[in-house]
Amino acid sequence: MSKALYRKYRSKSLEEVIGQRHVTDILANAIKQGRISHAYLFTGPRGVGKTSIARILAHAINNLPYDEEHMHLDIIEIDAASNNGVEDVRDLREKIQIAPVSASKKIYIIDEVHMLSKAAFNALLKTLEEPPEHVVFILATTDVNKIPATIISRTQRFSFRSISTIDAVKHLKHIAESEKIKISDDALELIAERGDGSFRDSISLLDQLASLADSKTGITTELIETSIGLAPKNIINQLLGAVETHAIPELVKILDEAFDQGINGVVLSQQLTLSVRNLIVDKPQLLPLLDSLLDVAKSSQPNLKLLSVLGSAAAPKQIIKSVALATPILEVVASIAELEKQATRKKPKELVDSRAEIVGSEASRNKAADFDLVKLVEYARQNYIALYSVLSKATFVLEGTNLTLYAGNKFYKKKLDDTKYNALIHTCLHEVGVYGLDIHIIPTGAPLKDSQAAAVAVIMGGGEEVSVETS
């Protein structure tokens, strides 16, 4: 059975360790001077070399050759994830009293030490305060925040860093050349990026892809994208292009196609985050988008969240005012019988036309000929039924480039203020050929004067009467 590459290329000495010189140099000098602490604490991300350096240090302290295949009897590794109880620590406290078999020091490496229970930490504390002369502890953790301060204060702490992309690419290239794995430079960089600062994850991915690659083409970016469900780079570029050009319909189309291909919203957001991060110096206006993309992974519906984030970023800059108007209660003089007659006499389309007529003269007076209320509402009905259910109850008043939506009540206003609905309103406007409007959403119905208009408003769920001046 072949050995996994991350194990085969694990560092065998402090000099071979890559990316942690701030730790290895100090440890190497301490060993040369014979200044050995009774307890060390290694903290940092996964896969950056904490356990490897703990093993190397354990052998170096005892002046033993390091052989990963054979652990020395006086070097004991404990996994705190499965030995985290107080009884386990009490058993450890009894065993450390026994002198080393042949080495100068008995060394305990406790991995994922943050998994110990509170009682176990309390039991370990006394041992760390007054350990036997022949014992050294090396604790390792990926979550230092869960380690009690009393434990940390009794150790020498070393903080490990994530591996830089440059160091990761260099090391991956060395492994690929040693293993005669054909791989492009772009593919090496993509693997390093997906490793997210972890050597182990990067090398494991290289190992996985090597078994899938064609002997002629080797590992390509296309193979990586297909194998781990990444979006092709051109999709990332198209999405960012649609955001910058405010092309919301194109944006929605690209996202739908990506989701149909099985690309996950979380993965796509991570790729976008990396791309935007690399563009920030030249395009600082993308900073709000970068901040919003970080929330996608936390959402229970990441695909929808990503659509909302990108849609909001793509929407033209607008002013959305939320004004609570204290509109006086108007007396409706039309009787119930009259309202029923109005409802019977008018067909649905005529009712919509009546409603459009209420605001039509004002729109005409402001030369906003491109705005067609009926067309807008009908487009929403055919494409976004949820938006239509709210939009159809609102009243519209257009004054120049200011479009006021009287939502009718606070509930509907809250709906229309929502990022998703707001982006869809702009999408609908753009689809019917209207751009550059400033939208104001009001939580009340529009003021009414005429009783007949009031009757129509009651039937339609809201409306505004506009006086038409004739010369």
Q: What is the dihedral of CA 330, 333, 338, 343, to 10 degrees?
A: -10
DSSP character string of 91-154: HHHHHTTSPPSSSS-EEEEEETGGGS-HHHHHHHHHHHHS--TTEEEEEEES-GGGS-HHHHTT
Residue 95 pairs in a beta bridge with none
How many C-beta atoms lie closer than 10 Å to residue 328's C-beta? 7
Sign of CA dihedral 107, 113, 119, 125: positive
Architecture of domain 5-159: 3-Layer(aba) Sandwich (3.40)
Distance CA 379, CA 388 (A): 9
Predicted structure pTM score:
0.59
- Fold for the domain defined by 336-460: GMP Synthetase; Chain A, domain 3 (3.30.300)
What pLDDT is stored for residue 333 in this prediction?
Answer: 46
CA distance 44 to 338: 76
Domain covering 165-228 assigned CATH 1.10.287.110 in the classification: no
Spell out the per-residue pLDDT of the chain, length 471, in tens. 567 888 888 888 999 888 899 999 999 999 999 999 999 999 999 889 899 999 999 999 999 988 777 778 999 998 888 877 788 888 888 888 888 988 999 999 999 999 988 888 888 888 888 888 999 999 999 999 999 999 999 999 999 998 888 999 999 999 999 999 999 888 999 899 888 888 888 999 999 898 888 878 889 888 888 888 888 888 999 999 999 999 999 999 999 998 988 888 998 999 999 899 989 888 888 889 999 999 998 888 999 999 999 998 988 764 333 433 444 444 444 454 554 555 455 444 444 444 444 444 444 334 355 677 788 888 888 888 888 888 888 888 888 788 888 888 888 888 888 877 888 888 888 888 887 777 888 888 776 555 555 554 544 445 444 444 444
Q: Among all chains, which residue has been given the structure tokens 């929407």?
A: 315
Phi-psi region of 246 (alpha: psi -120 to 50; beta: other; left: phi over 0): left
Read off φ and ψ for residue 164, nearest 5 degrees. Answer: -70, 155
DSSP string, 40-52: EEEE-STTSSHHH
Q: How far apart are the first and last CA of the chain?
A: 96
* Sign, Cα dihedral of 360, 364, 365, 369: positive
Which residue matches tokens 């386990």? 88
- Three-state DSSP state, 305: helix
What pLDDT sits at residue 327? 41
Show me where the domains of the chain are located.
Answer: 5-159, 165-228, 233-314, 336-460
Sequence-distant (≥ 6) Cβ neighbours of residue 162 within 8 angstroms:
44, 45, 48, 196, 197, 198
